[in-house]
Amino acid sequence: MQIFTCPFCGPREETEFHFGAEAGKARPEPAPEISDAAWADYLYMNEAPRGRAREIWVHLTCGEFFVMERDTVTREVLTVAALPGREA
Amino acid sequence: MHDYSAFALLRRGLTGHRGWRPAWRKARPKPAYDAVIVGGGGHGLATAYYLARRHGMRRIAVLEKGWLGGGNTGRNTTAVRSNYFYPESVALYDLALRLYEGLSRELNYNVMLSQRGMLIAAHTPAQMEICARIANAMRLNSVDGELMSGEAAVRRIPLLNQEAGARYRCLGGIWQGRAGVARHDAVAWGYARAASDLGVDIVEGCTVTDLLTEGGRVTGVETDMGTIRAERVGLAAAGATPALAAKAGVRLPIHTYALQAFVSEPVKPCLDTVLLYLGTGTYLSQSDKGELVIGGGLDRVPTHGQRGNLPAQETVLSGLLEMFPPFGQLRLLRQWAGVVDVVPDSSPVIGPAGPEGLYLNCGWGTGGFKAIPAGGWLLAHLMATGTHHEISRPFDLGRFAEGRLIDEAAGAGIAH
């Protein structure tokens, strides 16, 4: 069992967390002017990086989304931080 | 080609089994090829074989960074089946199953296909309705599928937990008689041997570090064994595909997860079919050696590390024991994981990557082994002709921009 640290609740078991998405994706605006390919890129396409990754996770028990930096090979957690504007 | 046969076995046996030759040549890469395939698993090797056999191409190389079949081809639970829901999926997976049915003869290599049937078991009336829907869809798509009753299921699998207090008491499910298991290593080795005999260069321990591009066209690969030019490059590297495709500016709808499997100590025959339990997500079969081969859903943490985590193990094994309480006496011999390339609609990506000369066969997620002959057949068609086979066309990367997803998350039957 791996321990992840929620920026709000502290260290908890990995089963309390759910992977959301890769960090850094910005919703393309304005929607009516966005091409199908750009929408598909935003919705579906990923880096799936090997090694250092920056990801959005949710702590299911408190419901807060946050940023976690991990190594996807070793599974080591590097940093966790609240989303901008959501700091406790 | 040196034939394998009962006669050859007898002849070698009488002379102390000396004189067997390696099944394939260990090749060094040449400077240029007509086709280079990145990834020496089942899909890559099958692609090379069909390029040579069906399309008459001769200057072909398969580049594998590790050893042949050491990725997901060697890490799966060996089930082959075509019990899917959508017509596109059934066409794809049943092409694979039909090719599997003739594969030992075609390759002159025993892939130990055992069509022992598979039950997708349900434990609620609602699940039985879904099973009826999928079984009907399979029949409409001309594939053998039937709704099996609870009594018939228990006759087939007497060890199923049918105690009055059983939490997931089996009500029946979908039966596919042509489903079964095949020997995973033999599939890779058989394709490798047959391809090598047709002149394909199989290069192990060769890592592709970059894709060569000229004017938007992919013209070869950079490797740790030097530059290799190629008219066409095919990527069949599962979880390593996104990073490779990115070298040509191609983004893919893939997340990589670990998928675990387990084998128990060997026991006498007690399960002569493949079983997937919808209620627990656990599936299993018994190997010819007597080991129970056990699998389940994905680990929920994206990773490139080929090992599993404990929560997924607990889910799979507690599901197993709910289905078969006596198996609690068994010890596990081994546990391992592969890195699978999961796509949002749980269907593969087969097609041109975008830049001319680059082709994709990826996104098989948790179900690549059963599809090996079809994946190879279709990628070979693409690389030889430059156009889709009618069966691969729906699986083009373009389906994400066009909104034509083939969402097999339910039809595929396991938790994605």
Residue to test with chain A: of B208, B247, B303, B396, most A Cβ within 10 A:
B303
Q: Which option is the CATH number for A3-82: 3.10.520.10, 3.90.1150.10, 3.30.2270.10, 3.30.70.1230?
A: 3.30.2270.10
Contact between chains at B302 and A19 (C-beta distance less than 8 A)? yes
CA distance A76 to chain B (A): 11
Count H helices, E strands: chain B?
A: 11, 18
- Is B354 touching A (CB cutoff 8 A)? no
Query: What pLDDT is stored for residue B410 in this prediction?
Result: 54
Residue type, B160: L
Question: What are the residue ranges spanned by the domains of chain B?
Answer: 23-109+184-253+345-402, 118-179+256-342
Q: Which CATH class is domain B23-109+184-253+345-402?
A: alpha beta
The more confident residue out of B242 and B162 is B242
Whether B23-109+184-253+345-402 and B118-179+256-342 share one fold: the answer is no
Contact between chains at A47 and B400 (C-beta distance less than 8 A)? no
**For residue B31, what pLDDT band results from cuts at 50, 70 and 90?**
very high
* CA angle (B90, B93, B97) in 5-degree steps: 120
Query: Which two tokens mark B299?
Result: 């680990």
B157 has a pLDDT exceeding 60: yes
Contact between chains at A36 and B311 (C-beta distance less than 8 A)? no
**For residue A83, what pLDDT band results from cuts at 50, 70 and 90?**
very high
- Mean pLDDT, rounded, for A52-66: 97
Spell out the SS3 assignment of B219-251.
EEEEECCEEEEEEEEEECCHHHHHHHHHCCCCC
- Is B253 touching A (CB cutoff 8 A)? yes
CATH architecture assigned to B118-179+256-342: 2-Layer Sandwich (3.30)
Query: What pLDDT is stored for residue B376 in this prediction?
Result: 98
Contact between chains at A48 and B310 (C-beta distance less than 8 A)? no
Long-range contacts of A40-43 (CB under 8 A, 24+ apart): A40/B253, A40/B400, A40/B401, A41/B251, A43/B400
Q: B184-197 vs B42-53: helix axis angle to the nearest 10? A: 30
Alpha-helical runs (H) found in B293-404: 310-323, 372-385, 399-402
Contact between chains at A48 and B239 (C-beta distance less than 8 A)? yes
B416 has a pLDDT exceeding 70: no
The rounded percent of chain B whose pLDDT value lies above 90 is: 92
**For residue A88, what pLDDT band results from cuts at 50, 70 and 90?**
low
Residue to test with chain A: of B257, B298, B304, most A Cβ within 10 A:
B304
pLDDT tens for B76-125 read 999 999 999 999 999 999 999 999 999 999 999 999 999 999 999 999 99
- Is B207 touching A (CB cutoff 8 A)? no
pLDDT tens for B10-23 read 999 999 998 888 99
- Is B251 touching A (CB cutoff 8 A)? yes
- Mean pLDDT, rounded, for B159-188: 94
Q: Which of B208, B227, B215, B216 is nearest to B249 (CA)?
A: B216
B401 has a pLDDT exceeding 70: yes
pLDDT tens for B374-394 read 999 999 999 999 999 999 999
